[in-house]
Amino acid sequence: MKKVIVITGASSGMGKETAKKLIGEGHIVYTLARRVEQMEDLKNLGGHPIKMDISNEEEVTKAVQTIIEKEGRIDVLWNNAGFGLYGSVEDVPLEEARKQMEVNVFGLALMTQKVVPFMRKQKSGLIINTSSVGGKVYFPMGAWYHASKHAVEGLSDCLRLELKPFGINVVILEPGFIATEFGSVLLNNFEKISKDSAYSEMMNAIISNTKKTEAEGSNSQPTVIADAVSKIIKTKNPKTRYSVGKMAKPLIFLRNLVGDKMYDKMVTSQLK
């Protein structure tokens, strides 16, 4: 069945690959992102790109209104926009930390607030919120990113209960290590931090591990996320969570299995 699908953060990586798959499956797909020029290929495939900053309420409102005016409904909202901010709590300026929360948490909430009234009216809908394996586990230098994804987990659980009476499903997507721009963003963040940082040794170990992983090409391809999202959309009664991609399920299983101190030791052992 053809559905009207809205994807935020669709200019690259998981969002773009999934948009391609869903367009190919015959759905009406609206792709929203700041870098609209990077979605020209999606337009050529039959998609509907819209330039939108997830942290700008006026732009979000306008985008949703445009879709409703053209289609009359929104069947699926995939809140996928987000980025990773890395650096120690001591080093990262709070202005940057607020931006992390503004995009990863409040942007997701804003988009949801604008779409839900239409889903309630049609008494149906599916909202997929992109969390991360980082919403269940943690690593040093990622405090603000992990905080944002832990927040998405909690927000989504509450939202699921609130919207269930209206026939709206809420699903949490927890990607593992996916071959996207994430690694380069992490490295760029570290470059902004002074080389005299008290945490430079730890940062260098993380930089080395990140570069090694990217060089080996051992991360899962974004297509695994595209397949998962397609499956979720087709499922009448989807699960509440989908852990997808390299190390997603093993890391979450491990975190649930061992206590805090044991997990801390296992993580720090990888930074030597």
What CATH number has the domain bearing residue 83? 3.40.50.720
Predicted confidence (pLDDT) at residue 214 exceeds the cutoff of 70: no
The pLDDT tens digits for 90-136 are 999 999 999 999 999 999 999 999 999 999 999 999 999 999 999 99
pLDDT at position 182 is: 67
* Catalytic residue (one of 11, 88, 148, 220): 11
Contact 141, 207 (CB under 8 A): no
Widest Cα–Cα separation across the chain: 57
Contact 134, 145 (CB under 8 A): yes
Predicted confidence (pLDDT) at residue 211 exceeds the cutoff of 90: no
pLDDT at position 119 is: 98
Exposed / middle / buried, residue 195 (Cβ in 10 Å: 0-12, 13-18, 19+): exposed
pLDDT at position 23 is: 98
Q: Which of 139-143, 180-184, 194-198, 206-210 has the lowest mean pLDDT?
A: 180-184
The pLDDT tens digits for 38-74 are 999 999 999 999 999 999 999 999 999 999 999 999 9
pLDDT at position 181 is: 64
pLDDT at position 196 is: 83
Instruction: Give the Cα-Cα-Cα angle 210, 215, 220 (nearest 5 degrees).
Output: 80
Region 82-91 average pLDDT: 92
The tally of domains found in the chain comes to 1
* Catalytic residue (one of 88, 149, 156, 246): 149
* Catalytic residue (one of 88, 145, 156, 243): 145
pLDDT at position 225 is: 97
Q: Does residue 194 have an active-site annotation? A: no
Query: What confidence category does residue 235 fall into, taking pLDDT thresholds of 50, 70 and 90?
Result: very high
**200 vs 160, residue with greater confidence:** 160
**202 vs 231, residue with greater confidence:** 231
Q: Does residue 199 have an active-site annotation? A: no
How many angstroms separate the CA atoms of 204 and 199, rounded? 9
Region 219-245 average pLDDT: 96
Region 167-183 average pLDDT: 88
Q: 253: domain range?
A: 4-271
Which pTM was predicted? Answer: 0.94
pLDDT at position 216 is: 62
Predicted confidence (pLDDT) at residue 233 exceeds the cutoff of 70: yes
* Catalytic residue (one of 3, 21, 88, 131): 131
Burial code (b: 16+ CB inside 10 Å, e: under 16) for 21-33 equals bbbeeebbbbbbb
Q: Which helix (H) or strand (E) holds 243?
A: strand 241-244
Q: Does residue 149 have an active-site annotation? A: yes
